[in-house]
Structure 1
Amino acid sequence: MTNFQIVNGGQTTASLFNAQRNSKADLDGIHVQVKLTIIPPEEAEDIVPKISEYANTQNKVSAADFFSNHPFHLRIEEISRRLWAPSPTGNLRETRWYYERTRGQYANAQSNLTPARKKEFLAIHPRRQMFIKTDLAKFENSWGMMPHIVSLGAQKNFVKFAESVSKKWEKDNRHFNEFYFKKLIAKAILFRTIDRAIMKQSWYGGYKANIVTYTVAKFSQILGQKNMCIHFEQIWNKQSISQNMEEFLISMAETINSAIQIPPQGITNVTEWCKRESCWLRIQHIQQDIPEQLKHDLLTKDENKQKESNAKTIQDTDNNIQNQTYVVEKGSAFWNKILDWSEVHSIFSPKEIDILNAARKIPSKIPTERQSLKLMDIEQKALDDGFKL
């Protein structure tokens, strides 16, 4: 058995580990009841979240927690752990944006560090650059012009985002690459800059969450109407938006603030009004020009699409490397086992048998990129037909 995962009992395990390691506690007389569930790999993504949902009676588990093992989140986490963000001051100290894929990761990463190592960790991963799944969904759906969905609250907005990203992943996972991550962080910087700035404005009197998401969505809308988009990489490189952009967005936020506080007859609660699509439709009809001062902060949509296309090509290469690595790490014995199994279960084509024979030569001969992808399909085909790992 491989890929063990504690679904419900992480706190108990961590407490025992820390008691033994930090307090030198004697655990010889300690026994913990365990239920071991063996799940076929192809079903893990569906079953593991359900175990967590139905077994957890101590703490409320959010909808976002159930989606944390999706490959999208694993990739965003992986990129966040290796991609350095440029220093905004130009010094040698670069940092990272820490994506907390599962609840408590950020704190757990520091829990057993010495004071010196913890200081180093926080210098590389400052708290202000940590974001969680519901933050990610908020940034994306705001820019995706769904402020009424964001206004429903973190969990409902996340569910909507999860549905969308799952479909996009199935269609073409290459879309989610380093450039996507840089764009995501640019949106985060934009969102958080507005969030901080409006609280300092004399006109501000509440409804911050609604004002921010509607401002971001409106900005995205008016740029789209002009076939423009923000220069995401420029924001990433500077780790900030320009002063001109900030001033423009604050001005727009003031307009949004006034508009959302005039709900139609029969609606008195502004927060509830912002949850309705009709509110967003009204905001869309507000006329707003793009000032000349922003021209250096923008790209045409075609220019941005070219960057996205280039990034997908790079991700395609990364995917191929990951596929080959997966196949090689499985080892020749594994592929030989499938080949032996296939002699009884005649489900493979002659071409697939040839590819399995090629995999038997690992590591002296490494399967090609195409062969590796096909071997992964062969493995899934065998599992679907009853092959046991």
Structure 2
Amino acid sequence: MARQPVLVVMFLRGGADGLSLVSPTSDPDFIAARPPSLRVLREGDGAGRVISQEVADVDFRFHPNAGALADLYAAGDLTLIHAAGLTESTRSHFDAEARIERGLFGPAVAPGDPSGWIGRWLQAAAPGGPMPALAVGAAAPTSLLGAGAAVAENLTDLVLAEGSGLAPALRARLLAGFGDHGPLARPIADLVGLSEMVSARLWSQTDGALRPYAPSVAYPENNRLSQPLMTVAQSIKEGFGLRVATVDVPGWDTHADQEGTFQGLTSGLCDALMAFWRDLGSAQQDVSVVVMSEFGRRLRSNTAGGTDHGRGNVMMVLGPQARGGRMVGRWPGLTNEVLDEGADLAVVTDYRSVLSELLTGHMGMANASAVFPGFAAQPLGLWG
């Protein structure tokens, strides 16, 4: 089991609609801006679960397909931060993702600094261990730039980043002849054989043998997040020294036909996340999960049954260490005079304030200045 704090960063790529995920259902401007199909309703079979909160005099509700989030919130394990995000205005996916994952702004930034915020944490904390960082996706994200000990997995191939150090049993089993600092960017399938890899994508170091992971709970079938989250859960429980894991969740760019697409995305995210959380068992006490996206969606729907790129969004922090079951921060409202550029939910909480409190409150940093140089975090009281 994990003996040191672990941070799992889930990135909803494409710009998730936070106004649907955590929805201000009673706000008259929200009701006027969207058809019922793109709003969470308060009555009927598809009504959303009420969110008890003290941030605003608004009836906030979880999307009806986010029942797992509602359960975690009711249990006091989930915290919500709405109207959060990147304070610099951009509607480009590429630009917003790069800015958020680098986390560097202002005069304190060294010219040409290529690092990402997780990479800087790894450099500052120097956690050691056989596998301090794991990136689950097609490639390591920008947030891990500057980190030499990162491992990336894309569901069928485990790619070992150059300079990574693995558990001795894994290194001896899979990397014989390659050395500790050689060209390790090779799929494990090349080393152990593709057929064996497909049947044993996840590993165990208990006896130094490759074998499938047996989770303690059933993960949802036909869910693209189940296997990535099983990989993270096993990496925590097997004692590989994991401290930070990133999980990419693509597909949230809902310009057209948002209703059905968003329902499926939300169910997939929430059901897999709940299975992961239950699978951790007692290791929950060591783990915090932050869920974020590069930006939200426009308040007003478009003519294609979807929403376009917006600004403010909801961030979520899962973990019993924080004072969960609350919405924190500030809700700016949706009247025209407070919307960003008259179109979007404004950003009133810099996303770095959330990450800074995770790093200091959960990961044990004295302060986050080495990770976010020149940034003065807004106190949110996640651990207050």
For the aligned pair, the TM-score class normalised by the smaller chain equals under 0.3
The structure with the larger Rg is 1
TM-score when scaled to structure 1?
0.24
TM-score, normalisation: structure 2: 0.24
